Amino acid sequence: MSHPVPGTPANPAEPAPLLPGMAGFLKDWGSDQLAFKKTHWGKAMMWIFLLSDTFIFSCFLISYMTVRASIPEQWPSPSHVFSLTIAGREFPLLLIAIMTFTLISSSGTMALAVNYGYRKDRKMTLILLIFTAVMGAAFVGMQAFEWTHLITHLGVRPWGNPMGAAQFGAIFFMITGFHGTHVTIGVIFLFIFARKVAKGYLDEMKPGFFTSRRAGYEVIEILGLYWHFVDLVWVFIFAFFYLW
């Protein structure tokens, strides 16, 4: 005489019962308002996106370290390649230091914008968002100047490099370009949400411009998570690419 397997329905036509707690998990996950209890669904999705983006940047940096450690050709000296000449004097990594200071400072203003957002201080939140966006735009502008200098003055190309290892140009433009794209996207959304704050859309939970979903000031924190991630990635790029 066969005995039924525990957890299976007595009638094969009946659906199998859910595991203990699975019904509650599916209910929370499928909710329109909250995905993880008290965590806003947008914040949860942003963390998932940032995790996937972390894998991409990690692959880029690991590939860079692997290539640099394995090729026999001389790798160009960052102190010479990324120097800034002022009044006939060469200052190693000066532009990169200014870029890093600007982007890290913008992380501080972004954190203050989140703080004042939760206080519902529209004026200070708007000012800090604009400050953050301007510093991000300044970073992208300095990066464009850096690219122009490497291409026009030093002859660096994605497929070649007159100063040593040919892989230098390809890796540099790929990593810094991918990061610069992230910063540019962040700047665009900073200005978009600055406009929403200025119009009072977050106070009144209106759909507003470009982003049609109704939201309060928690979206500033979600935007802040993205911006802090971009700043953190630059710290690793600065350490591995410019200081090594």
Query: How many domains is the chain partitioned into structurally?
Result: 1
Contact indicator for 183, 103 with CB cutoff of 8 Å? yes
Determine, yes or no, domain membership for 33: no
Residue 1, domain member (yes or no): no
Does residue 25 sit within a domain?
A: no
Domain interval for residue 59: 38-242
Whether 69 maps to a domain, the answer reads: yes
pLDDT tens figures, 162-217: 888 888 999 999 999 999 999 999 999 999 999 989 888 887 666 555 555 566 78
What is the DSSP code (8-state) at residue 84? E
The residue whose two tokens read 């992230």 is 182
The CATH number covering residue 135 comes to: 1.20.120.80
What b/e string do you get for 38-68 counting C-beta neighbours within 10 Å, with b at 16 or more? eebebbeebeeebeebeeebeebbeebeeeb
pLDDT score for 203: 76
In a domain, 10, yes or no: no
Q: Point out the residues of the chain with pLDDT beneath 70.
A: 1-20, 25-39, 204-215
Run of H or E residues at 85? strand 83-86
pLDDT of the residue at 18? 60
- Write b or e for each residue in 9-32: b if 16 or more Cβ atoms lie within 10 A of its Cβ, otherwise e: eeeeeeeeeeeeeeeeeeeeeeee
Q: Is 147 domain-assigned?
A: yes
Residue 122 lies in a domain: yes
pLDDT of residue 159: 85
Q: Is residue 30 situated within a structural domain?
A: no
pLDDT of residue 56: 95
| pLDDT on residue 155 | 87
Closest CA to 124 of 220, 225, 206, 230: 220
Q: What pLDDT is stored for residue 27 in this prediction? A: 67
Pairing, β 34-36 against β 89-92: unpaired
Question: What does the pLDDT look like over 28-43, one tens digit per residue?
Answer: 666 555 545 566 778 8
